Structures are given as structure tokens and as C-alpha cells.
Amino acid sequence: MHAFRSHTCADLNKSNVGETVRLSGWVHRVRDHGGILFIDLRDHYGMTQVLCDPDSPVFAEMEKVRSEWCIRIDGNVKARDADLVNEKIPTGEIEVFVRDLEVLGAADELPLMVFGDQEYPEETRLKYRFLDLRREIMQENMKLRSDVVMSMRKRMWEQGFREYQTPIITASSPEGARDFLVPSRLHPGKFYALPQAPQQFKQLMMVAGFDKYFQIAPCFRDEDPRADRSPTDFYQLDMEMSFVTQQDVFDTIQPVLQGVFEEFGGGRKVDQEWPQISYADAAKWYGTDKPDLRNPIKMQVVSEHFRDSGFAIFAKLLEQDGTEIRAIPAPTGGGRKFCDRMNKFAQEQGLPGMGYIFWRDKTADSVAQELGIPVKEAQAKLKSGEVEGGMEAAGPLAKNIGPERTEAIRQQLGLGVGDAAFFLGGKPKSFEAVAGRARDVIGKELGLLDEDRFAFAWIVDFPIFQKDEETGEVDFDHNPFSMPQGGMEILETDPLSATGYQYDLACNGYELVSGAIRNHKPEIMFKAFEIAGYGEDEVRKRFGGMVNAFKYGAPPHGGCAAGVDRIVMLLADQQNIREVVMFPMNQRAEDLMMNAPSDPTSDQLMELGLRIIPQD
């Protein structure tokens, strides 16, 4: 018999009754039922119930066993009584009577329990991650991650891609975040960098003629942590293709990701149609470039209904250039309490508030106020039909702008009795983000989201440049390496209107993919950087390898990168990316288990020619 096991803890069933077996694993739970010890023995594959009574030669040793001890047992497989069968596990028809026991690894008092659903502080979970990972949900999350990566690789190979590895130690290259620098021992005073992405290398592969590349690539960025972003490193499905258009990239990556979500989405609906929405429209309709399309709410511009109206705040606002009023429709949100709650939400986000209108059946109170008669008389007139009933608009805004304008707004938004609309105004960039968050909250609170669905959308036509309103300086708004739509002509005639062949894929409110058709022509690249205030010499200095390569017959090329961690987070239905990363950092970018970052020794610093300057 094998030294440690003849079967895993998921293998045994009724067909094994009468066999002598050997199992190894962890003690999940110990139960003492009147002198009979029952132990749930767990390994990576499953659980088997083993038992021991005073007739067993190792009963005294079994009494000492505690949770999370690692043990090996030999025993006889027995059938459980019919009324004791556990149908929830594959081994639920049998149990193993223990004849021999070996303690492979005893456990100290546990800082966190593996059995049960107790909640522990994140710092405790990360410090003892090796215990945290023993929990069933974490085992399932990590298996899911591995299976997703395998599926991605398989699907990419099936589309004619090959996987190539790019360097981990390279030169510093701005990708929109801070680099992790690595000091060089052989070249004192100089530094390597960990790659923020394989961007330049994969483009150089296209110049080298490899045509189709992919990689499950580690990326390193010194970023502030968020629930959906690691502060140090992450993995992405990185790909690049030659002689392709933007649509070619979409047509290539969609079946890969759609297949992964269908395979691992747990039966949730996966959208087949992925709309393409311009960056400008996404900001206008959803207040974000990563909209959650499970929420049917689409914001609209309603400026004309408030221009020269009785609502002075909006009317005066619209006299300023670049301002507008946007409405957030709220189907079924037509109650004063809900409207007041959303107004408070806007104030908590740093805005003065949100105006609102809601529509309701005409009330006796409103008729009495309108006609200057007692409420009882108004009730009688409504009941008799002398005064026509129907719908009315309510709320402070409705009173200020009058029935004609409120009716025009209602018709534009397609609302009716029981519905509401919220309004924000000013220069769009000052309120768009809050409007987007308000849309999310309204959709969630009103139960408008289709929770069992993965809704995708390509966000396209990103602006290349932005102009600072105060200084007048022009800088890049998004990826500086994307090919401008219109090429050199748009850069020479109207650069501030230039959009790039750049795109993101949004799903359920998260950005899953980012990519572009690359600017492979040096003259267009130099012109784009010139507009943003960077001279040719600086471009050559910072991106010399790529610029030099583009002089030798660079093909048109493009690609994208999909965030593996974020995709698994969605598939696992988790809200925090650390739940699907094996050994994540905490919110302060610390590894509490391995004590990183740590202080270097004086010998290490001396060898590298470095000195630590104390921070005040």
C-alpha cells in the first residue's frame, strides 16, 4: 500500500464496502457521540467520515486529535445506515472504521477556524493565508482560477495563437502607473523596472513577424489598492495580432471570453451581442466608461426644458458655456421618501443635491391647492368627475418649471405614474461621476438589475488629448500609443477632436479588457507627442527600442489585455479581488505572511551602492 493513501477523501463509495483503505488529510471536525469518535477527514478533493470506538487499537491516540491536525489513517470501509446517508457529498454512503493512525503534522491552537462560516478580519486572514486557503470557498475559488486560465489558453491556441514569454526585468516605461524599480548591482546607480505590462515587447514581436501572440502575463504596478485592483501585481490574458482592424480584435477575443463566462458562469445568462458605445455616449448615458448594462437606466440631456425656466438655479447655470442638465430616470421610484434619500446621497458625494420630479395620481390635496377649495370639496369633485383625475407631477422642481415643461420631460424620458427622475447640472465633468454612481444606486435599490446576467459592452472612440481649462496646456487623455482615427490629417487640422482606435470592454460595471490598434508610424507618433508637449528627442530617449523598430517595416497591429483576476472575481461572485488571488497583499501593499516589504541588510545596500534616507 502507498505510504500515505490508497484513495483520496472523495473517492470512496458503496462499491468499496469491505475494503481496507488508507487515507491522509486534515481533521476538519471532531464529534464525540457517547464514546464513539467521528472525524470528518478532508483533503483537496473532498471529505470522508471516519470513526473510532474503544474497540479500535488506536482509540486513545484518536482522542488526542484536534482540528486541522494532518493525519494518516488505515481502516475498513463500512456502509452507513440508510437514515444516516449524507447525500450532499460523494462519500456520503460510507464511513471508515479506523484501525491505525499516524499523526503527520500536529497543529497549534488555530488563529482562525477552517470549519464553519465565521468571519475574521482581513489582516488575520492574510497573515495566516495558508489556513484561510484551506476553507472550502477559497479552495473552490483557486480551482476556478486555475480552470479559467487553462480554458483561456486552450481557446487562444484553437484560434491560432502561440504563447510566448516576455522579460520580467526590463527598462522603465510609462504605462499610466508607477514602476517598481530594481537596482542593478553590475551597473551602480542604474535601475531596471518590473514591467507594468508586456506592451512594448509584444509590439516588437509583431515587427519581428510573429503575427499572433498571447501570454498569461504577470504585470507589476505600484498602485493604490481598490476592491477590484491589486496594489502590486496582477495577471492578464495579453494578446497582439498583425494586419488587423479594431473589429478583427473584437471578433477574436469575444468568443474566448464569452466561452469562458458560459463555461464557468454557473448558468448565468451571458450576452451574445456586445454593443459598441462611444466613450462620449458612455459618459453621457451612464456617467462612466465601464457601465453596468444590467441596469436599464440611461441618462438623457434635458437642458432645453430648463432653459429660461422658473427654476433659477438651472436656468442661470445654462447661461454659462459648456453646461448642461442631465436626467436620471427612475422607473418605480416615484415616492417622496426615496427621492429625498437620493438627494441626500448626492449631498454625501459632495454635490449640493439632486433635484427631482415624481409622477403620481392626482390627489385631493393638490386639487384643493390648485382651485383654492377645501380638501373635502376637492374629493367630491374628483369623485363626480367634475374635476378630471389622472396624473400629476410633484416635487419642488415641478412647481418651479410648471406642468408643460414637466410633461415634456416625462414624455422624453418615457415615464409614468409611480416613476421619478433626478436632475444634475453644470459642466459634465463636474458631476458625471456622481451621476454614474447615482444611476447604479437607483437601479440597485429599485430592483432593476438583472442579477443573473453578464452584460458586455465595447467602449470605443476614446479621446486622445485633453486641454486644461485653466492653463490651456494639452496632454494625453488616454493611451498615447493608439493610432488616431484620421491619422496625420486629424493631428494637423483638429487634434483636440481626435479619437483613437482604443477600446475597453466593460462587464457588469467593471473594466475587463483594454486595448488599441497601435500607432506604428514614427511620424504620426512624433506628431502626437509633439501636440502633448514632448519633443522628438524625448520620445526617442523614452521609447527608443520601439521607435527604432518601427523604421524597419512595421506592420499595422493591435491587441488587448484581459484582466484574469477581475474575470475570476466576477465568475466567483466575489466583491473583492483578494478572494481570488492565492497570496494577495493587504490594503497597504504589505504581505503580512512573508513580512514584505522588509528592511534590506547593510551588506545588501552597500553591494548595490544605495543609502536609505530617513523620511521626516
224-281 pLDDT, tens digit each: 878 888 889 999 999 999 999 999 999 999 999 999 999 999 999 999 999 999 999 9
Q: Which domains does the chain have, with CATH numbers?
A: 14-105 (2.40.50.140), 138-277+457-581 (3.30.930.10), 295-449 (3.30.1360.30)
Amino acid letter, 429 = K
User: Which stretch, 110-119, 149-158, 341-350, has highest mean pLDDT?
Assistant: 149-158
Whose CA is closest to 254, among 272, 269, 236, 267? 272
Give the pLDDT confidence score for residue 595 in this predicted structure.
94
Instruction: Please give the full DSSP string across 318-369, using - where no structure is assigned.
Output: TTSTT-EEEEEEETT---HHHHHHHHHHHHHTTSS--EEEEEEE--HHHHHH
pLDDT at 401 over 90: yes
Task: Indicate the burial class of 129 (C-beta count within 10 angstroms; 0-12, 13-18, 19 or more).
Answer: buried
pLDDT at 364 over 90: no
Whose CA is closest to 94, among 26, 2, 11? 11
Report the C-alpha gap between 303 and 339 in whole angstroms.
21
263-278 confidence digits (pLDDT tens): 999 999 999 999 999 9
- Residue 39: φ, ψ to 5°: -125, 130
Whose CA is closest to 139, among 267, 265, 47? 47
Give the pLDDT confidence score for residue 490 in this predicted structure.
94
592-611 confidence digits (pLDDT tens): 999 999 999 999 999 999 99
Whose CA is closest to 444, among 492, 537, 509? 509
Helix H or strand E segment including 430: helix 428-445
Contact yes or no for 376/457 (Cβ under 8 A)? no
Whose CA is closest to 248, among 567, 599, 558, 606? 558
Instruction: Please give the full DSSP string across 542-557, using - where no structure is assigned.
Output: HSHHHHHHTTTTPPPE
Segment among 464-478, 483-497, 575-589 with least mean pLDDT: 464-478
Instruction: Compute CA distances 477 → 214, 367, 482, 484, 499, whole Å.
Output: 27, 53, 11, 13, 10
Contact yes or no for 504/514 (Cβ under 8 A)? yes
Helices (H), 213-332: 246-264, 279-286, 303-306, 312-317
